[in-house]
Each structure stands twice: as structure tokens, then as C-alpha cells.
Amino acid sequence: MSAPSRKYRRTRLSATLVLALAALQAQAQQAADQQARTLDQVVVTGVRASSRTALESPVPVDVLSQDDLRAAGAVNGELGQALANLLPSFNFPRQSNSGGSDHVRAAQLRGLSPDQVLVLVNGKRFHTSALVNTDTKIGRGTTPVDFNAIPISAIKRVEVLRDGAGAQYGSDAIAGVVNIILDDAPDGGEVVGSYGANHTRFGPADRTITDGNSSYGAAKFGTRLAGSGFFRAGIEAGHHDATNRAGIDTVPDWLADPTPANLALRGKRNYAAGDPKSENYSGWLNSELPLGDTARLYWFGTYTQRHTIGDNYFRYPDSSANVPAIYPDGYRPESVGSNRDVQTAAGIRGKLAEWNLDGSLNWGSNAFDYDLRNSLNASLGAASPTAFHIGSYRFDQGSANLDGNREFAAGSRYVTLALGAEYRHERFRTLPGDPASYAAGPYLDAPVGAQAGGGLQPQDAARLSRNVGAAYAELSSDITDHFFADAAARYEHYSDFGGNWSGKLSARWEFAPGFALRGAASNNFRAPSLSQIGFESTTSGYGADGKLVTGRILSVRNPIARGLGAQALKPEKSRNFSLGLTGQVGEHFDFSLDAYQISIDDRVTLSETIDSAGLEDYILQHFGVPGVQSVAFFTNAVDTRTRGAELVGNYRTPWAGGNLLLTLAYSRNHTDIRAVRATPPELAATGAGNVLFGDEERNTLTDAAPRQRGSFSASWNNRRWSLLGRVTRQGSTVRVFDFGGGFEPRQVYAARWQLDAEAELHLTSRFSLALGGYNLTNQYPTRSNSDINYAGNFPYDVISPIGVNGAYWYGRARYTF
């Protein structure tokens, strides 16, 4: 057994023992009451004026409780999947055979890029992942926040601000802000265990499949400290088996040479498509300790370790990518990800004179180690190893914050003034892989490097850092009994980009009892991530047409990229406008309807793969670097405009001896391309066409994600039962491929209806059992046509929000104390 494997197994054993000890130490106490999800709940995200509710907010805010997340049907405790199940404006595609996206899934808010949403934990900025997603569809070229690195059992509630908020919270908040509030119950706790699996009729293979077996356990407890203080902590552990929805391989001539060894694989399932196998262990804490009568010391943090195994394309026995002496029947490489994530913050909040002050230190770090197994470097022949370390990624973020607010009288009204400052340091590094993962061996006709992702080479290693300073001011007040206004301004200075001003105005006017108009206007920005500035890699693998190519992703600072027309990246800048109507009719019904427009200039995207006929010779002649068949680099190539509308309605009433809640939610958006930068003359000289922003990337930004999503849910509970039913309409998506030579197949994947349900029986006041299911009617996307189903191996595309796994069933036991 290898050293990394032994270390991983020791970690798993330690986590299991800690989980058992926590359960044994649990003391039976009454469970703390949890807040119900209502639109009139007090929120802390969106404006800094105190005691404002979601309906009273001048911008749209969704509030999700612990109970909402628990009943969301998320596989293996995935927070990202729970949010996608509950929020139509939140997209969390399950991509497969997609490199880094098999290990770190990217989320979208309002159809924008994954890195255009800011994530906070207890109001403090959460760091992004270290892994750069370069082989995926949704989120290509981004380093998104890993939502699944935040333990779902740690959460008291989630507040999702659907509006630009750069002036209040800083860079990245173009699409909105997700603020995760940790559980702060001062006593009691719970132990939860669940088990589930996919059970589905899979038409392309004409078989019934049961796979994706998932087990999940969590325990948490709380205790009071020094009277009004508390300490709350918990742990989680989960295991999820892989799923496989690959079709039957037809092995046509264009995919593999028609040799007897290759043709013998015709009619078999040689590929794999679905969820990766994963194991994860998490721990968290949240605490406060009073310091006298006017101040409190707080400390919170999360830790997650996840091990995932993803699939890659099959390599045929008789091909340049194989060494028959090692794999006589061909092979399918597997990518292995080891992901370690930690976030912690500590500070003091209290009252000084008339000011409420909060000073804090915040540190977050993500480390991702990328490996391959069941692979080889064909250029090394029979001497090639079959397992490789292909690179390491590191991202660290530390910050110091000081925030203060106070109320003061202005005539007969009170005005809330908030002031704050932040200093942040960010660092991004990549480390090269094993020499064998990128070595050029003696077999010159074979591709160089480990199959399914050559290792990062010493020339690719990146080490970047920057400092960010910021200051903000926010002023809000009820101007009259029926009119509230909020104004915010923020200045941020980046050591690598200079300064930027952001501003926001928002207001709410209650024009009739229970009914109000609200609106906001803001400008926001997102600085390119350090990874987008400095990441480089060298690979040899399959292109979209099934042919092997060797290529490089170059940083914009690389002389080759500059020689091909790459320019220093600029920050993305947006102009956000929203207008909404809210209403509360009696005690039973409330609603909100919001329309918005987001115009973004200089969006940062990864260029299309540039592989023109003259590229290799051009690079050799001008830079003396041989063998580069394709390149890509980051660019500010496009301006976009996104328009949309969102509706949320709730109806609550006592019914049949319990409480009934009906919720309707709907989201619609559409992104237009407003401008595209011209191909640089240096690239045009190589014969390249419109490659900075081609048809595939246009498809990614405009219609690869669903433009419409809607859901209707009904929940009913009494002291004995909790019942939930949810119907979701996943909107249609479009996939476009550019195979070159003018061949650009396009397919529309039709909208699908999805049914989820859960029934929970409270056997006692502390113990309950639940049975539920996700996608119970076993819906699948539209089947891909023969132009894009890769010879029948991928009958379904990965971009459909309904996924490719079919029905999922689960059971859960929960004990509170």
C-alpha cells in the first residue's frame, strides 16, 4: 500500500472514531427550536440596518432553514445540491468526464459564472477552491467556491442575496451573495444517519441499475459558556459510490482503428459517465464568550477532507495511447482528487460609546492534490508507471476586518451609519507532478505524458500573491413611515490592478398596507483570480473530435501568449439594476416578484483551444519551442447583458390538525452577447479564426444553463408527521460543439419535470425516521444525437440540471437531545 493510501485510511479511521466518541458523549437535552422558513424572517444580508425582514429588504433575499436543507434530498450531504434543489436561481450541474469538475463542482447564480457569486460564512468572506477547472463546460476557466466544503449539518440558515453587492461586500458579488449562518444553539444537539442509492431503469443499456450507494452521518452538540456564551461543534462523514450511465460502445472507424482487438469491444460499456466515487470527513465549531457586559469574543471554523475518483475517456487496445504489454484490453484512466479545506475566523464584537464594533481575523486555505491511476505514459513504453501525481494546487486567503455601525437621530428619524475596512492577502501556487507524468520517452510516435492529463511541468509552476485594501460606508434610514433608502460606497485597491470604486443605491416604498415596490442600482466588479492570471499547464489528450493533441494553457504573462496577442487581464465590471414588488395578504400569503438586468464588461473567459494549421510552426520559429500543437489563454474577450425575473410566493395555513406551507418559486433569465473582441492580428497570422470567444464559449455563457427553472412545494407537519412534496421544472439547455471544418452540431435538451418527496415520522419527541426520494419518476435528459453522443458512449449530456442518474431513494434516522 502506498504512503498516501495509508495516510488516507488512517484519516478515515480517525474520523470514524471521533464520530463514535461524539455520539457517546451526547447528553439528553431538549432540542433548540429552529426558525421556520418564511419571507418575513429577519435577515442580516443585503443591508446593515438592523431588524429588517426579507419582505422589508430593498433587495431580494431567500432564507433557507435547517429543516429546508435536511429535506432537500441532497446526496451525501452536499450543500450545493441542496441549494440547487431549493432555489430555482441556483444551478449546480453534475458534470462527468470533466477533469477538475469531477472533484470540485461549480455553482451558478442567475446563470452567471461560478466565480461571480460571493460566499460568506457568518458574514466573513469564504475562500475559493485552489483547483482550476479547465476541462469542463459550466465554469470552464474558473476557480469557484467549493460549496460542498461547508458541512451542511453546521448550518443554522442560509441567506441568498440575489443582487449585486460589491459596494457592501467587495469583489465577486456581481450575481449576488450567499451568506451561511452557522448553528449557534447554546445547548442540545443531534445525531443523524442516512443511507440512499440510485435505482433506475436505464434505457440506453436496457437494464435496471442500482448504484451510487451513499451513507452519511453527522453529530453535533452545544454547551453554554459563562452564562450567555456558547460552544457549538459537530462532525460529518459521508461515502458515495460512483454511478455509471455510459451507453453501448459502437467503436466506429473514426474513434478507433478497426483492428480485431478494438472491434472485440463493440457492444460493451467501455466508458463511464456519472458521479465520482467520494468520501468526505468534516468538522466545525461556532462559539462565543462574553467579555464583561459590552463585548463578546467569537470563534468559528470549518474543516473538510474529501477524496474523489473521477472517470476519463477509454483508451483502446490498438491505439497510440496504449502499451498492450501493460493493458492488452485497453484501459480507462481514473483521476484521483485529495481536497483539504479549512476556514477559521476569530474576533471581538461589542459596544463602544454609541458604536457597535466588530474586529476580526479570518483565514482560509484550500489544498488540492491531483493524481491519476489506471493510466500510463505511452512514450515510455512498457517501462511506464500506471499511477501518477500530476500536480498540486494551493490557495490561501487571510484577512483582517474592522466594522462598525451606529444609529443617530436625524430630526424625527433614525439613521444607521456603517463604516468598515478590510485588508486581505491572497496566495496561489501550483506544484509540478511526477517527472514520469510529463516525460518524453523513447517512443517518438506515442503521445507524451500521462494519459487523461499530463502532469504540471516545472515550467508550468505558478506562485502569485497580492494584497487588497478596502474601505466602505453605508447609510440607511426610514425616510418616512413608508419609504426606506440605503446607500453604500466602497473603495478597493489591488496591488496588481489598482483601485476601484463601487456604489449602490436601494430603496423600498410601501405604497399600500402590505404592498411595496423595491429597487436597486449598483456598479460591481470582479478582479481576475490569481489562477486566471498565472495558471499554466501542458497536456496531451483527446480533443472534441476524438483525436489526440498536445497543448498548453498559457498565462497572459507568458511570452508565447503575448506573442499571440494575449493582453494583461482587466477586472470585470458590471452595472446592476433591479425592480421588485412584494406583498403580504393577511396572515397566510406573501410574495415577491423581482426583475433585473446585469450588464458585464470585459468578462474573463478561457479562450477556445487554438490549434490552427500554422500554429506549431509559428511558435517554433518565433519562440524556439517545438511541439506545441494547441494553446489557450485567458482573455477579456466579451461583454454580456443578462435580464431576468424571479417570483417567490408562500401560503401558510393550519390544516388537518397540522400546518401547511405551499411555496411557488420561478426564475427566468437570458444572457445576450453585446460585444466580442476581434481576433488579434498575431493570431490571425497563424490562420486562426474567431478563437478568443468562439461558438462553444458563447454557448456556455448564453444557453448551456437552463434559462427557466420553477418549483412548487407543499409541506405539512404536526407533532407526529412531517410530509414534503416538491415538483420542479428544469428548463431546457443547449449544447454546441465545434469539431472544426465548419462542423458544429447543436442539440436542444428539452425541459424536464422532477418529483421529490419525503415523509418523516416522529416516533418520539426526540427520535424520527424519514423516507424520501429525488427524481422519483426517473426522468432523464433528452438523448444526445449521433453527432455528439461519442459513438453511443455518452447518451446523455452532462449539462442538464436533472442529471443523468435517474431516481434516488434514501432513508434517514435522527435523534435530538
Distance CA 151, CA 300 (A): 13
- Locate cell 432513508: which residue? 811
**Alpha helix ranges (H) inside 77-138:** 79-86
C-alpha cell at 375: 493510466
C-alpha cell at 330: 485497453
pLDDT value at residue 541: 52
Mean pLDDT of 783-810: 92
33 contacts: CB under 8 Å, gap ≥ 6:
none
User: Residue 485 CA to chain centroid, in angstroms?
Assistant: 33
Q: Does the pLDDT of residue 647 top 90, yes or no?
A: yes
Tell whether the model's pLDDT for residue 10 goes beyond 60: no
Give the pLDDT of residue 742. 83
CA distance 780 to 765: 39
Residue 585 pLDDT grade (very low, low, confident, very high; cuts 50, 70, 90): very high
**Would residue 179 count as lying in a domain?**
no
C-alpha grid cell, residue 677: 473582441
Pairing of strands 808-816, 188-202: antiparallel
Q: Which pLDDT band, with edges at 50, 70 and 90, does 780 fall under?
A: very high
| Cell representation of residue 490 | 466602497
Chain-centroid distance, C-alpha 347: 28
Spatial separation of the C-alpha atoms in residues 715 and 616, rounded to whole Å:
61
What tens digit of pLDDT does each residue of 588-598 get? 999 999 999 99
Task: Please indicate, yes or no, if residue 262 is contained in any of the structural domains.
Answer: yes
Q: Is the pLDDT at 437 greater than 80, yes or no? A: yes
Cα distance between residue 611 and residue 626, in whole Å: 14
User: Does pLDDT of 159 surpass 70?
Assistant: yes
CA distance 327 to 381: 11
Q: Where are the alpha helices (DSSP H) in 298-366?
A: none
pLDDT in tens, 513-555: 999 999 999 999 999 999 999 999 987 655 555 555 668 899 9
Please indicate, yes or no, if residue 180 is contained in any of the structural domains.
no
Interval 388-397: pLDDT, tens: 999 999 999 9
- State residue 334's pLDDT score: 96
Grid cell of 357 as nine digits: 464594533
Q: What is the pLDDT of residue 25?
A: 35
The average pLDDT across 152-165 equals 96
Cβ neighbours, 10 Å, residue 324: 13
Classify 380 as helix, strand or coil: helix
pLDDT, one tens digit per residue, over 673-731 is 999 999 899 888 888 877 888 888 899 999 999 999 999 999 999 999 999 999 999 99
Q: Would you state the torsion angle of the CA atoms of residues 606, 175, 80, 723, taken in this order, to the nearest 10 degrees?
A: -150
Contact (Cβ atoms closer than 8 angstroms) between residue 45 and residue 124: no
Alpha-carbon span 749 to 733, nearest angstrom = 5
Pairing state between β 117-121 and 188-202: unpaired
Judge whether 462 lies within some domain.
Answer: yes
Q: Tell me the residue type at 72.
A: A
Cα 466 from Cα 530, distance rounded (Å) = 8
Residue 499 falls inside a structural domain = yes
Q: Which residue has the cell 465549531?
A: 285
| Residue linked to cell 435538451 | 749
pLDDT above 90: percentage of residues in the chain: 77
d(CA 164, CA 170): 10
Strand partners, 643: 597, 670
Give the confidence band of 412 by pLDDT, cuts at 50, 70, 90. Answer: confident
**Residues of the domain holding 284:** 3-174+186-816
Worst-scoring range by mean pLDDT, 145-149, 566-570, 738-742?
Answer: 738-742
The model's confidence at residue 36, banded by pLDDT at 50, 70 and 90, is very low
At residue 463's C-alpha, the angle toward residues 459 and 467, to 5°, is: 155
Closest CA to 129 of 171, 157, 101: 101
DSSP 53: B
Q: What is the pLDDT of residue 172?
A: 94
Q: Which amino acid is at 397?
A: Q
| Residues 243, 245: Cα–Cα separation, whole Å | 7
Q: Amino acid identity of 499?
A: G
Q: Which residue has the cell 443591508?
A: 47
Burial class (CB in 10 A: 0-12, 13-18, 19+), 445: exposed
Q: Quickly state the pLDDT bin for 51 (edges 50, 70, 90).
A: low
Lowest mean pLDDT across 129-133, 170-174, 625-629: 625-629
Give the span between the Cα atoms of 43 and 59, in whole angstroms: 11
Q: Is 181 inside any structural domain?
A: no
Give me the percent of the chain exceeding a pLDDT of 70.
93
- Averaged pLDDT for residues 326-343: 97
pLDDT digits (tens, 9 = 90+) for 165-189: 999 999 999 999 999 999 999 999 9
Number of Cβ atoms within 10 Å of the Cβ of 260: 8
The grid cell for 815 is: 435523534
CB contact at 8 A, 775 and 808:
yes
- What is the DSSP-derived secondary structure letter of residue 530? H
Cβ–Cβ under 8 Å, residues 181 and 674: no
Q: Look up residue 328 and give its three cell numbers.
A: 492488452
Q: What's the pLDDT tens digit per position in 475-509?
A: 999 999 999 999 999 999 999 989 999 999 999 99
Q: What is the pLDDT of residues 53-105, one digit of tens each?
A: 888 999 999 999 999 998 887 877 899 999 999 999 999 988 777 777 789 98
Q: Is 549 helix (H, G, I), strand (E, B) or coil?
A: strand
Please, which pLDDT band fits residue 7 given cuts at 50, 70 and 90? very low
Write out pLDDT tens, residues 269-298: 999 999 999 999 999 999 999 999 999 999
Give the Cα separation of 92 and 80 in Å (integer).
6
What pLDDT is attached to residue 30? 31
* Residue 216: inside a domain: yes
Instruction: Say how many domains are in the chain.
Output: 1
Q: Taking 50 as the threshold, does the pLDDT of residue 21 lie above it?
A: no
Q: What is the pLDDT of residue 667?
A: 97
Report pLDDT for 610. 87
- pLDDT exceeds cutoff 80 at 13: no
pTM for this predicted structure: 0.91
608 part of a folded domain: yes
Confidence (pLDDT) at 4: 40
User: Quick one: which of 225, 91, 51, 206 has its CA closest to 700?
Assistant: 91
- 17, 279, 723 from 237: Cα distances, Å: 11, 8, 26
Write the CATH number for 411: 2.40.170.20
